[in-house]
Amino acid sequence: MHIETAVNLRAWNTFGLPATAQTLVHIDEEADVRRVVDHPEFGPAPKFILGGGSNIVLARDVTACVLKVEIPGLRIVEERADAVIVEAGAGESWHRLVAWTIEQGLGGLENLALIPGTVGAAPVQNIGAYGLELADRFDSLDGVDLVTGRGFTLDRRLCRFGYRDSVFKHELAGKSVITRVRFRLPRPWQPVLGYLDLLRKIEETGVTHPDARQIFDWVCAIRRAKLPDPAVIGNAGSFFKNPVVTPEQCRDIIARDPHVVHYPMDDGSFKLAAGWLIDACGWKGKSVGGAAVYEKQALVLVNRGEARGAEVITLARAIQESVYGRFGIRLEPEPIVVG
């Protein structure tokens, strides 16, 4: 195993927040996880699983043994009449996987282009964007139990996916490492175009029947226009989940604020645009220390250069209180807060 001590994690989290890991183990293959489990020191110690660091806020040093998952690999597992099954190592870049499927002539993941992070972290969060969630294309995943060292495979039902949620945030939190993930890309391919920004692209371009690559390009352009590049401005993407409310709650909010952005859900509830709620409360561009609300998208909190985790948390809590005071809605953070 490749083991490091006293590792500065600033470069390992997209927010660029300062924190130190006492011990960091690079996981390059499934066998490395078993070596950690069998290790006399690391085996019994608490574990912290780190992928691309795109969904965490580090508010303190990490005393748990950090497992940096870097397992590579992209391949087509099976081609069937109704679907193509593709597999990716947990350490692969999520966007690289999406771009690779497009290069292979396989549609299905294009709406999820440019989401930062690794493939192994994607099921934990059940990532989603532009009308599609990972769960919609998920087939199964492999992992290793951090107590027994035994491998396991979970299907969609056992992952218990919810809105930005999964079993890995609950019963399996810190107790397992995802090593490989498989996706089911349906045949025939059907575009997912219900999201407002994509409908605008159709109107702007006149392309009424886009293929998967066209949608991929559109999503990349939309995200680049709206969201800051973590390599330039530290951030963790969308900081808050879009709240889901009852029809009665939605009608009440619309009565007070007719311009609130909202989307109907299949179960009759409504999803509200958290960024709109934050912007309506006047937070866009405001800051606490080095942490700020991004000027182009109020849903994103950014590091202006020397922010600390405590400043990000203070800013986030102030936003939550403000939105609750005006709309009666409690915003829930997407990133995992360490400390």
Contact between residue 286 and residue 299 where contact means Cβ atoms under 8 Å apart:
no
Structure tokens at 102: 């497009």
CA 96 to chain centre: 15
Amino acid letter, 80: R
- Choice among 87, 92, 110, 334 that is catalytic: 334
Whole-angstrom Cα distance, residue 339 to residue 58?
Answer: 7
Q: Which residue's entry shows tokens 């530290």?
A: 234
What interhelical angle do 196-205 and 212-226 show, nearest 10? 110
CA 59 to chain centre: 19
Q: Any catalytic annotation for residue 164?
A: yes
- Choice among 87, 93, 140, 164 that is catalytic: 164
Q: Any catalytic annotation for residue 287?
A: no
Whole-angstrom Cα distance, residue 155 to residue 123?
Answer: 11
Helix residue ranges per DSSP H, 132-285: 156-159, 196-205, 212-226, 247-256, 274-280
Of 222, 234, 236, 239, nearest to 304 by C-alpha is: 234
DSSP-based three-state secondary structure for 223: helix
**Number of Cβ atoms within 10 Å of the Cβ of 156:** 17
Of 283, 290, 338, nearest to 312 by C-alpha is: 290
- Choice among 93, 140, 166, 238 that is catalytic: 238
Radius of gyration of the chain (CA): 20
Of 180, 47, 58, 73, nearest to 122 by C-alpha is: 180
Q: How far is CA 102 from CA 59, 97, 107, 217, 256, in A?
A: 38, 9, 6, 10, 44
Q: List residues bridging with 152 in a β-sheet.
A: 143
Catalytic residue numbers, as ranges: 164, 238, 334
